[in-house]
Copies of this chain bind each other. A is one copy, B any other.
Amino acid sequence: MTFQKPTIPKGSRDFGPSEMAKRDYIFSVIKTVFKKYGYQPIETPAMENLSTLLGKCGEEGDKLLFRILNSGDFLSNVSGNDLKSKDPVKLINLITEKGLKYDLTVPFARYVVQHQNEITFPFKRYQIQPVWRADRPQKGRYREFYQCDVDIIGSKSLLSEVELIKIADEVFNRLGIKVIIKINNRKILAGIAEIMGQAEQMMKITIAIDKIEKIGLDGVKHELLEIGIPQSSIDKLLPILTFTGDFEEKMFLLRDNLSSSKIGLQGVYELETVREYLSFFELSTAVQLDLSLARGLNYYTGAIIEIVAEDMKIGSICGGGRYDDLTGVFGLKDISGVGISFGADRIYDVMDQKDLFSEETSQVTKVMFVNFGEKEEKYCLSIIEKVRKAEISAELYPDHSKIKKQMSYANNKNIKFVAMVGEDEINENKITLRNMTSGEQIRLTLGELISKLQLE
C-alpha cells in the first residue's frame, strides 16, 4: 500500500510549537491588558444557525459562509422535484441549517440578545476565537483565522472610546510595536457632506476622500466630479481637505467650517471630548486626526479608529469604532457600543519581520537532563523532581540515545541549559551544567543549580 502525504484544506494552517509560542505570547499580552481594564472573556460555538448568520453582511457575506451539511439523512427534506430542479440556491437551504461563524460580531450580537437577562450592562467583553471564510486564499488571507475583539456595550459614554484607544496603545507598547493611531468620526464625515449640500452622497464622497493618499488632491477632485458632485460643493470641501497643523488646529478649523452642520458639530464635540479624556493618560504615541479614515461606514455611527504599524506597508493591525445598533437585527434596540479588533496574523507578521519576539518566547524547557543510562536516569529522576518543585521547567531525555542526538534535541528545542549527571557527578553529588549558547560548563550542587536556573 502506498500513501500520499496527507494535507490540510487550502487556506488553513497548522501551528507548530514555535509559531504557537509566538502566537500565545501575543494573545497573552492582549488578554493581560484587557483584564487590567476590567474586560471579561466569552466564547461562542463555531457553528451558528444559518438564521443567525445569513443576511448580516449582504449577499457577498452569505457567500463566504462555510455551511454544515445536515447530519443523518441530509436528503430527508428534499423532494424529487427539488432534486430535479438542480437549483443550488434552493437545495442548499434544504440540506444545511448551520454554518461556521465568519466573524465575532454577529455571534456577539446574538449572544447579547439571547443572554440579555444574565448580562450586567455596560458589558465589557473580549473574545478571541477562530472564524472561517470561504474566501479565495492568498498571501496573508486565510480561510480559518483568529479574531480578537474587545467591546463595551450598553453605554454611550465617550470614556469607552478613550479606554479602547488606551488599551490598544498599551498592547502595542508591550509588544514593542511602534504604531500610528488614527481617529475620525462618522458624524464629521456626515457634516462635511452636509455643508457641501450633498448629505445623501456622504458614502461616495467619503470613499473618494479615502483615496487622497493614493491619488492626491487633484485625483479626489476628479473623482468627485465624475460621480456628479458639482464644482460648487467641491469648493467647500477643499479647505477641509487641505487643513494642515496638529490635532488642535485641525479641530479649530473644522469647527469653523462645520458651524452650519448640527451633526458635524456633534462630531467635533465628540472628538474633542475624546481628546480631552485622552490627555489624562500617558500614551506612547499621539493620536492623529485623519479625516480620510472611513472604515466600516456601514455600521459605525460615531468614532472610527484605525491603528497601523509605523514603517510597514501591511495595512491596519487594529481598528474599530462606535456602533449605535449592534443588536437591532435580533430585535433588541438601542444597545450602543464601541469596540476594536486586533489583527493577530498581521501583528504576528509585523513582530516577525521586525524581530520583536525575544528568544525566550519559544523556550519551554529551561534545562534538559542528559540520559546516560539506566543507573543515571534513576538518579536524575529524584533530582529533576526537586528542580520542578522550584517551578523550573525541566525534562529528562527519555531514551539512552547517543549524546550527540540528545544534544541536538536540546538545540532544536531551544533549551538553554543541559545538565549532565554521569558516574563522576553521582560520586561527587554534583551536576554538570552546560550553557548551550556559550558552551560554558560548571559543576554545581543541586541547590546551586536551582538558584542559577531560577535567575536565568
Residues on A facing B (Cβ under 8 Å): 1-9, 12-17, 20-21, 24, 35-49, 51-52, 63, 66-69, 71-75, 78, 80, 83-84, 86, 88, 91-92, 95-96, 98, 100, 110-111, 113-115, 118-120, 122, 124-125, 130, 132, 134, 143-144, 152, 155-157, 159-160, 163, 276-277, 280-282, 330-331, 364-365, 368, 377-378, 381-382, 385, 388, 391-396, 398-399, 408-409, 412-413
- Which of A6, A43, A96, A394 has the most chain B CB atoms closer than 10 A to its own CB? A6
Q: In the complex, what residues of B have CB within 8 A of residue A115's CB?
A: 14, 16
CB of A111, distance to nearest CB on chain B (Å): 6
- Which residues of chain B are within 8 angstroms of A75 by Cβ–Cβ distance? 86, 88, 91
Are A281 and B385 in touch, CB under 8 angstroms? Answer: yes
Can you add 19 more A-B contacts, CB < 8 Å, to A69-B96, A75-B88?
A: A3-B331, A5-B330, A6-B110, A12-B46, A14-B45, A15-B42, A15-B43, A16-B42, A20-B43, A36-B392, A37-B388, A38-B368, A47-B132, A47-B144, A67-B69, A69-B95, A122-B409, A159-B377, A277-B381
Contact of A385 among B86, B120, B282, B408 (CB under 8 A): B282
Residues of B within 8 Å of A163, CB to CB, are 398
Asked, given contacts A20-B41, A388-B36, A398-B160, whether A2 binds B331 with beta carbons under 8 Å apart, the answer is: yes
CB distance from A434 to the nearest CB of B (A): 17
Complex contact A364–B35 (CB within 8 A): yes
A376 to chain B, nearest CB (A): 12
Contact B9 A45 (CB under 8 A): yes
| Nearest CB of B to A47, in Å | 5
In the complex, residue of chain B having the shortest beta-carbon distance to the beta carbon of A377: B159
By a CB distance below 8 angstroms, the chain B residues around A144 are 45-47
By a CB distance below 8 angstroms, the chain B residues around A277 are 378, 381
Find chain B residues with CB under 8 A from A44 CB: 8, 14-15
Of B281, B282, B385, which contacts A280 at CB under 8 A? B385
**In the complex, what distance in Å separates the CA atom of A160 from the CA atom of B398?**
7
Whether B118 and A16, one on each chain, are in contact in the complex, defined by CB atoms closer than 8 angstroms, is yes
Q: How far is the CB of A118 from chain B (nearest CB, A)?
A: 7
- Docked Cα-Cα span, A24 to B115, in Å, equals 21
When C-beta atoms are compared, the residue in chain B nearest to A134 turns out to be B71
Complex contacts, A408 vs chain B, CB 8 Å: 120
Q: For the complex, what is the distance from the CA of A6 to the CA of B14, rounded to whole Å? A: 33
The answer to whether A381 touches B45 (Cβ under 8 A) is no
